[in-house]
Structure 1
Amino acid sequence: GKVNQLIATLRFSVPGVTLISPPPHHDIYSIEDLAQLIFDLKQVNPKALISVKLVSRPGVGTIAAGVAKAYADMITISGYDGGTAASPLTSIRYAGSPWELGLAETHQTLRANDLRGKVRVQADGGLKTGLDVVKAAILGAESFGFGTAPMVALGCKYLRICHLNNCATGVATQNQELRDGYYKGTVEMAKNFFLFVAEEVREWLAVLGVASLQELIGRVDLLDLLPGVTARQNQLDLRPIIHTDDLLESKPQYCQQERNAPWDKGLLAEEMVVDMLPAIEAKSGGRFEYQVSNCDRSIGARLSGEIARRHGNQGMATSPLELRLSGVAGQSLGAWNAGGLDIYLDGDANDYVGKGMAGGKIVLTPPQGSQFASHKTPIMGNTCLYGATGGRLFASGRAGERFAVRNSGAQAVVEGAGDHCCEYMTGGVVTILGPTGYNFGAGMTGGFAYVLDMERKFYDRVNMELVELSRITTEPLENHRNYLREVIEGHVEATGSEWGATLLEDFGDYVSKFWLVKPKSASLNSLLATTRARPE
């Protein structure tokens, strides 16, 4: 199969296991979710330019305006004519619309809403020639994406079998024999292709009497409408594509600022960086305390970015920063958490806790003096631990929906979870010390989970397509019982959970109520060995 050792390492999975590609973006269900993701990315790397790719379709201009207001730096309008050859035939033939339609609508809408000067606009989806670049510039693009044409220049024969791992030209395969024997592409081939495209662009600029490509952006006055050849073509009204008016002409035609800076400056995060940067640079660790509110988003992401930039994902794991917080944390607490940052929150948190975390530790405990039972009360929001690749999360309370979706290596303990827990999971260990919602383990191809089923309802809430359940009370699974006890002991040590202490006190009785959930394709004997081999 295509998932060899290299691909499995890159995807934090296991060789030979089929992966769902690309995995759905279950952290994005609204423009607000997208805005939060953009903010998270800008926090972890303030120097980055964030691009959002949109499919060309009717109404894409309105979506693009929302993306610009969400503080993206670049918007790509992708037409239906390009795309991966691994796509389903129905998508290739029937989905999407020409980039020209979406680009024109996007450019006009951004100008009308005073947004065009804040973002770059890119067009892609079947661009092949310099003339395509010129047309895209006239319709409003300042950046141009090429995919299929350079691949053909490198030897691709467009056989559309990319997903079968037997590409005849050695381009889209992990089969080393095919790559060595049939791939003939060189850097010079790609370089020559783009040189010829650039040369053609310059020739067209000369024909049009324009000094630079930037002067061509949005010049729809250079386009004429041609009469249709057939009766049906004559019924098309293409005037909206080249529409302009006095209002639009008063607006910028292209991006006029370096980046689209968010309104939220993340002041607390910047204060933390100032306080902790000496400790990060010296790799000395230390303890720091702060009060947070739900307006403080992505706390920890800026620190993780500074740690990773200087020392890598795990470079400070042996001398971590200890961040002690109290209050209600905003969205994305501990997003992209790096090894070397341990976050302790005395309070509760919103959505996306531990999103994309690579290492370190996140511990959530109820506020001091709280009277509620932690295992019956939510302590974090939805889509927590999404896409995590390492680290540990302990929460003395319940998680919301879509907990540990696409978890690829993190170890987590919570005291209950909502629907779709462990969806598309490819690695790591998730322990649920309480009830779950429906559709548990859908698309789960790696890792495993322990689930406490006190109500005898869990079996009916599991998506059994790719996973299977077993009890851990049999003699061959004694190592799992021991490991589960270690996990709960670590949870109690980290959080002081009364419910965890109760489980340990009567562990012999409660252990029979736990289910072990694992992928059908995974070996029961290798689960713990694989988990313990992960240093993060």
Structure 2
Amino acid sequence: MSLLCPIGPAPNILEPSSSFVHRLFLPQPILSLPDLEALKKTNHRGWKTVVLDCTYDVSAGPCGLPGALTAVCQQAEAAARAGCQLLVVTDRAASSQRLPISSLLALGAVHHHLIETRQRMKVGIIVETAEAREVHHMCVLLGYGADAICPYLAFELAFALRNDNILDPTLTDQDIYNAYQKSIETGVAKVMAKMGISTLQSYKSAQIFEAVGLNEDVIDLCFKGTQSRIGGVTLETLSKEVFERHALTYSDIRDSLVLRNPGFYHWRAGGEKHINDPMSIANLQEAATGKSASAYDKYRESALESVRACTLRGQLELVKLDEPVPIDEVEPATEILKRFATGAMSFGSISLEAHTTLAIAMNRIGGKSNTGEGGENAERYLNQDPEFNKRSAIKQVASGRFGVTASYLAHADDLQIKMAQGAKPGEGGELPGYKVTEDIARTRCSVPGVGLISPPPHHDIYSIEDLAELVYDLKCANPRARVSVKLVSEVGVGVVASGVAKGKAEHIVISGHDGGTGASSWTGIKSAGLPWELGVAETHQVLVLNDLRSRVVVQADGQIRTGFDVMVAALLGADEFGFSTAPLIALGCTMMRKCHLNTCPVGIATQDPVLRKKFAGKPEHVINYLFMLAEEVRQHMADVGVRKFQDLIGRTDLLKVRENNDNPKARLLNLSLILKNALHMRPGVNIVGGSKAQDFQIEKRLDNQLIEQCSGILDGTQKHVDITMRICNEDRAFTSTLSYHIAMKYGDQGLPDDTSININLTGSAGQSFGAFLSKGITVTLEGDANDYVGKGLSGGKIVIYPPKASPFASHLNVIVGNVCLYGATSGRAYFRGIASERFCVRNSGCTAVVEGAGDHGCEYMTAGTVLVLGLTGRNFAAGMSGGIAYVYDIDGSFSLKCNPEMVEQLPLELKEDLDVVQTLLEEFYEYTG
């Protein structure tokens, strides 16, 4: 990362000069104490460093912060104009007589002031602070313009721990610096990765944040350009807090010498409020198990208190009638329950017992459970016991991680595309290797003991067009199912949701920042994502303004726990509601937050067979809780005078800002944006979610002809059929609907061994040719094909070769597009020609032969065999945790293109390998000529 800029008078930018390379490069942004001292005293090439004291005199009183920030900005400008190269923004001078300015406020103010005065490019800014200690702190400082950071208190604390023998006393200062720098570097890289940013230079000053609870005066001075939709605390408020904290620090109160645990990550008595506090957990479990008739009332009371202390919705209240409508005129609980779903908690993150218990409970009440991206064993959806039906109605299609098969897709009511996860946007799920048992590995088509991570850019979706294609593919793979897309609550999600609706999704989940953090790293628990209240309101408003609301059903998800939460979500615009943490608590979860360690003491978030025996949850516990919650919703509906649940949706006039709010900061919030009624902005629009069907034009599909010609195969009266057709690039997801019908009859096994379908084609195939192709079908194409050939291949065989009369050499030309065989689970593919980028990404069981491949081949592959008879692009085999690839290294360049992090490169010598390659070559020659 470049820290410094040219010195002296500005050179002519059109003439190359040595001054343009007058830089100091840092390998990473964290400076040690000696490094900072060296930079403070440097005189290298005439560089000058100015130290900006970011403290102010206590005599300035409770309103001194704005003046102090202005003074620091003026000093920074003067130093830049005087030819200084380095500014050190420091709070080192804090003392009983000096109040420290927040390092972020000081940095942001200086950074933006220098931009406004055209001086920013002349200087590098170093932040020397006691405040910054965690990864997020560093990320925010870098994001608002810091070129380097010295968190001196973190280092000094580590030295003190070493001196007290709490850390290894043999550690040197340099060891401590290196360890801390490495940990911060790893954490910052993870945050950058999930934002899709590859260099720190690009991340620096990018301001990829949204403020929640900061007023315009703070934003304008320190964070110009940052979104802050609900206002909040002012500079005056922050100034008073600085003064009060300083007074408390230097008071004579003996208790001030004790550093209390603030309870940021775990609930602690006297610490920060949590939605899930021990009282609420105990009351919910007592209510769910039916031990006390009044337990739910106690739970509702304690939960509402937590909601008011912790959430945006807690700052709102319902507008109630003086005379409620009779409760027996309100829609029954059994109908309301159909709008409920459990969240996407994967088998793997939670135990099989917990996962199936949730499914049984939701099936009994007419709601839906979600597989999560961990998938589901076939026996659960093929053997549907009416009383103990363990099938999850919502099948999540995250990123092919668990091997999506034709049968898995066929046995779903909803197919949910996981674009992102609200609680930790961009990260996706993460399952440590020690939780990947043989059962889980089999379900996910992976290897036992190997950790599973969903990397940020889901490799089949790089644009809204890619997403629209996946929506279409899934609809073709299961015409009965509703296609859902899971989005993150963030500024602009309404525009994204509009694109998703235009891409013909039928259901949209808006996921909030709460929940979904059981197995997260700390960088994903705090300061990631936004409340669903903001996202649901924006999504509903934008969809209504674009007359798209009737096409999609909107679901709110994220720590919905009470009937009040459901009411607020509905009034802001949600049709359906996802519950995750609360049902787990009803099953016995005690919120130990040890999910990632595999040591859950109640057998829920563990794969340890001994601990799993401790699981005592029953479907009735979840059913009891949800019925009580639905009855609470009915009571609220009666109070506000609404009889039908559909009539609640979007009725923001039934919400108002809470009166008598005892939180002075909450009283500063401006919630008018989320309380706007969308129908006032565009009257007369249909807002009944899902009342207008998306037009997929299924009736025009070439597959319909296929299904008709294969009717004898499907009804069992025929054993073999040969079909000859011509195909064009308008024919997308060819064979996917045929595979659906086969999967519904035969499951993952596909057609019986004595039954087969041979399809011979000529022409250029459209996208997703042979997607989710079932066993027993062979498709041979004389021509070429677009992207996603054989996506999710499920046992079928695909052969593609150039037209026989074509004059070009196949091994020098591309014959299939990007992302071929993505997430394939079984089957075979033979491509005579080159495949484009991301070939066989997440292959988890298919065998493929190709004459060359673009960048990122075999990335995240977990099983299967790939033979590449030619050149590959760069980054081959990144994240490859299983399977084997044979690569013909024509020009000796392969070792430089292969990512060696998880694979070993070996010469082709073993007889068993030679036999495999020879067999594949013979088959390739036979099928493709």
TM-score (norm 1): 0.89
Aligned to 2:643: 211
Give yes or no for contact 1:266–1:296 (8 Å, CA) kept in 2. Answer: no
- Deviation digits for residues 236-292 of structure 1, max 9, x if unmatched? 432111113544331123225274232565431222222222232225221101111
Q: Is 1:94 aligned to residue 527 of structure 2?
A: yes
RMSD value, Cα:
1.7
User: Which range moved further: 388-397 or 202-211?
Assistant: 202-211
CA contact (8 A) 1:266 1:297 kept: no
The letter for the 1-side match of 2:482 is: L
Distance 1:184 1:266 in 2: 51
Is the Cα contact below 8 Å between 1:349 and 1:379 reproduced in 2?
yes
- The structure with the larger Rg is 2
What is the match of residue 443 of structure 1?
A: 879
Is residue 460 of structure 1 aligned with residue 900 of structure 2? no
1:413 pairs, out of 835, 845, 849, with 849
Paired AA for residue 543 in structure 2 = L
Q: Does 1:269 align with 2:699?
A: no
Q: What is the distance in 2 between the residues matched to 1:291 and 1:148?
A: 52
The structure-2 alpha-carbon separation of the partners of 1:356 and 1:103, relative to structure 1 and needing over 3 Å to count, comes to: same
Aligned to 1:260: 694
Counting only pairs closer than 5 Å after superposition, residues 37-56 of structure 1 correspond to structure 2 as 37-56=470-489
Task: Answer whether contact 1:165 1:175 (CA < 8 A) is retained.
Answer: yes
1:151 is the counterpart of 2:584: yes
Query: Does residue 386 of structure 1 match 2:822?
Result: yes
Runs of 5+ in structure 1 lacking a partner?
Answer: 497-536
Corresponding letter in the other structure for 2:654:
L
* Partner Cα separation in structure 2 for residue 262 and residue 169 of structure 1: 46
Q: Does residue 118 in structure 1 map to residue 551 in structure 2? A: yes
Aligned positions of 1:227-242 closer than 5 A: 233=666, 235-242=668-675
- Aligned residue among 183, 204, 209 for 2:615: 183
Shift in CA distance, 413/317, structure 1 to aligned 2, threshold 3 Å = farther
How many aligned residue pairs are there?
492
Aligned positions of 1:130-529 closer than 5 A: 130-180=563-613, 182-226=614-658, 233=666, 235-244=668-677, 246-257=680-691, 259-263=693-697, 265-282=699-716, 284-318=719-753, 319-473=755-909, 477-496=910-929
Q: CA deviation at 1:323?
A: 1.0
Alpha-carbon distance in 2 for matches of 1:293, 1:305: 22
Distance 2:542 2:662 in 1: 31
Does the aligned pair in 1 maintain the 2:819–2:840 contact within 8 Å? Answer: yes
Say if 2:476 and 2:698, in contact at 8 Å, map to a contact too. no
Provide the secondary structure at the position in 2 that maps to 1:469. Answer: coil
In structure 1, distance between residues paired with 2:657 and 2:566 = 19
8 A contact 2:750–2:795 mirrored in 1: no
SS of 2:526 mapped into structure 1: helix
Distance 2:882 2:894 in 1: 20
**Equivalent residues of 2:506, 2:690 under 8 A apart:** no
Distance 1:306 1:263 in 2: 18
Distance 1:285 1:16 in 2: 42
Structure 1 residue aligned with 2:436: 3
Contact 1:307 1:340 in 2 (8 A): no
Residue 229 of structure 1 and its aligned partner are, at CA, apart by: 6.0
Deviates more, 1:102-111 or 1:249-258: 249-258
Q: 1-side partners of 2:704 and 2:455: how far apart?
A: 34
TM-score of the two chains, using structure 2 as the length reference? 0.52
Whether the 8 Å CA contact 2:550–2:692 is kept in 1: the answer is no
Distance in 1 between residues matched to 2:593 and 2:793, nearest whole Å:
36
Shift of 1:230: 6.5
Between 250-259 and 410-419, report the one with greater CA deviation. Answer: 250-259
* CA distance in structure 2 between the partners assigned to 1:46 and 1:8 by the alignment: 29
Within 2, Cα distance between the matches of 1:159 and 1:432? 48
SS of alignment partner, residue 748 of structure 2: coil
Deviation at 1:368, TM superposition (A): 2.2
Contact 1:317 1:341 in 2 (8 A): no
Partner Cα separation in structure 1 for residue 663 and residue 570 of structure 2: 28
Q: Determine the C-alpha separation between the residues in 1 that align with 2:708 and 2:561.
A: 48
| Higher alpha-carbon deviation: 222-231 or 399-408 | 222-231
Q: Which residue of 1 aligns with 2:505?
A: 72
Q: 1-side partners of 2:519 and 2:455: how far apart?
A: 11
Distance in 2 of aligned mates of 1:105 and 1:193? 30
For residue 160 of structure 1, report the CA deviation from its aligned partner: 2.1
1:327 positional shift:
0.4
8 A Cα contact 1:430 1:449, kept in partner: yes
Mapped contact 1:140–1:253 kept (Cα < 8 A): no
